[in-house]
Homo-oligomer: A and B are copies of this chain.
Amino acid sequence: MNQERKTVIIIGGGFGGLSAAKKLRNKEVNVILIDKTNHHLFQPLLYQVATAGLSPAYIAFPLRSIFRKSKNVQVILGEVKRIDRKSKKVYLNGENYSYDFLIVAVGARHHYFGNNEWEKIAPGLKTLQDAINIREKILYAFEKAERTLDPKEQQKYLNFVIVGGGPTGVEMAGAIAEIAKKTLIEDFKKINPSKAKIFLIEALDRILPTYPLDLSIKAKKDLEEMGVNVLLNTRVLDIRNEMVITDKQTIEASTVIWAAGNKANPLIEQLETEVDRMGRAIVTPYLTLKDDENVFVIGDAAAAFDKNGNTLPGVSPVAITQGRYVAKSILKKLKNKPIKPYRYFDKGSLATIGKAKAVADFGWIKFSGFFAWLIWVFVHIFFLIGFKNRFIVLIEWIFAYFTHQKSARLIVDEKILKSS
């Protein structure tokens, strides 16, 4: 650490924090990057870990390795417990660090809309640990069905409910349908895995509501062809043990996955600043706090607005460009250069539904099917970190395409067996 230089603390090594740190490396500032895990997680492929398609290591990259050659970037594995804007300090368990500039990129967690007791039964998908837990839950449900003679009990293990029809919910529903109808179909002797029923519940009148209407309709048709029951205009009233109660019906299911809502990390409360109803810090057009131009909030933790006053969506391109923007802003401030407000250029959205099925919306053109899926594959391989990771993920996908096999069908947790 160079004592004469200003210090930038970045909390969070996701898309936003990582891109900020990359822009600041080998520049005339000290950077301290703090994350609760030791890796940057490529969240767009997390659902593939949760559905046994990929091993965790290939979508997670050690933050230390990324900055091994950047002398001005210090990586700390730790959890920030407190932010004190008055003294300009960030507190971990045991130690604290002083900042001149603070970039808060802490992301979001699931939002159960006041029903936090649902989390235990219906976990969400944000971290590698979440993904591994969901993977074991899904695979173990089939094992339990195989060991059960009672047909009603068996069906309960073979019912899967996904709450929320956004991109994550759609991807999960498609991937579970693939596992049930293709991957496992020959593996079980007593049960017929094709009896598995996948329910995708969405409160609005269409899935992928941020996409153009015709793509939503196409995605629903694709999912239904894969055997997914898409329940629109359906509200979840309660989630109890092995049971989902909606305003239309009650579904008995041992596996329920939550993909319905996000809420900013509670650390945002520490900033003592204005937040929106999802707990995101409301930021200026410069992505700073209103009363503190040295504190930036970016990515899913921030409520930033486009020129029409709409909140920017919680997607990785927003986080990445915001990270770069605030890093450049800090460098400009240090040189007393003028700073322009942040502007987001939407390059388009992609969502995959299943093998060789996807929807793409680039604004000037929108399409679906095999070609959209190929673009999805290309884009995701391209943005992964590390040549070897790209290579191995591509091999996995090529194998999966031709064999229907999934690579990481592991139940590792010994507790899962003990508890049953």
Give A contacts to B, CB under 8 Å.
Answer: 36-39, 55-58, 60, 62, 64-65, 68-69, 71, 74-79, 93-95, 127-129, 132, 139-140, 143, 146-147, 184, 186-190, 388, 391-392, 395-396, 399, 405, 407-414, 417-418, 420
A388–B402 Cα gap in the complex (Å)? 12
8 nearest CB pairs, A to B? A55-B55, A57-B408, A64-B187, A77-B143, A68-B186, A38-B411, A55-B57, A62-B409
- Which of B127, B417, B418 contacts A77, CB < 8 Å? B417
Copies in the complex: 2
Query: Once the chains bind, are B56 and A139 in contact (CB under 8 Å)?
Result: no
Contact, CB under 8 Å: B71 / A189: yes
CA A93 to CA B392, docked complex, whole Å: 39
Which residues of chain B have C-beta atoms less than 8 A from A186's C-beta?
A: 68-69
Given A76-B146, A143-B38, A388-B407: A414 and B127 interface contact (C-beta under 8 Å): yes
A58 to B, closest residue via Cβ? B55
Residues of B within 8 A of A78 (CB): 147, 417
Contacting pair A189 B74 (CB below 8 A): yes
Residue numbers in B under 8 Å from A409 (CB-CB): 38-39, 57, 62, 65
Q: How far is the CB of A62 from chain B (nearest CB, A)?
A: 5
- 24 CB < 8 A contacts A-B: A36-B414, A36-B417, A37-B411, A38-B143, A39-B411, A55-B56, A55-B58, A55-B408, A56-B408, A57-B408, A57-B409, A57-B410, A62-B187, A62-B409, A64-B184, A65-B409, A68-B187, A69-B186, A76-B146, A78-B147, A95-B147, A127-B412, A388-B395, A388-B399
Q: Is the CB of A414 within 8 A of B146?
A: no
B38 near A139 with CB under 8 A, answer yes
Residues of B within 8 A of A418 (CB): 79
Distance from A373 Cβ to chain B, minimum over Cβ atoms (Å): 21
What are the residues of chain B within 8 A of A146 when measuring CB–CB? 76-77
Rounded to whole angstroms, the CA-CA distance of A396 and B55 in the bound complex is: 13
Residues on B with C-beta less than 8 A from A420 are 93
Across the interface, which residues of B come within 8 angstroms of A64, CB to CB? 184, 187-188
Known: A69-B186, A74-B189. 7 other contacts (CB 8 A): A37-B412, A38-B409, A38-B410, A55-B55, A55-B58, A57-B407, A74-B190
Chain B nearest Cβ from A335, distance in angstroms? 26
By a CB distance below 8 angstroms, the chain B residues around A407 are 57, 388
B129, A413: Cβ atoms closer than 8 Å: yes
In whole angstroms, how far apart are the Cα atoms of A94 and B140 in the complex? 16
> Min CB distance, A169 to chain B, in Å?
23
Give every chain B residue within 8 A of A139 (Cβ-Cβ): 38
Write the nearest CB–CB distance from A133 to chain B, whole angstroms: 10
Roughly how many angstroms separate A129 CA and B392 CA in the complex, as a whole number?
23
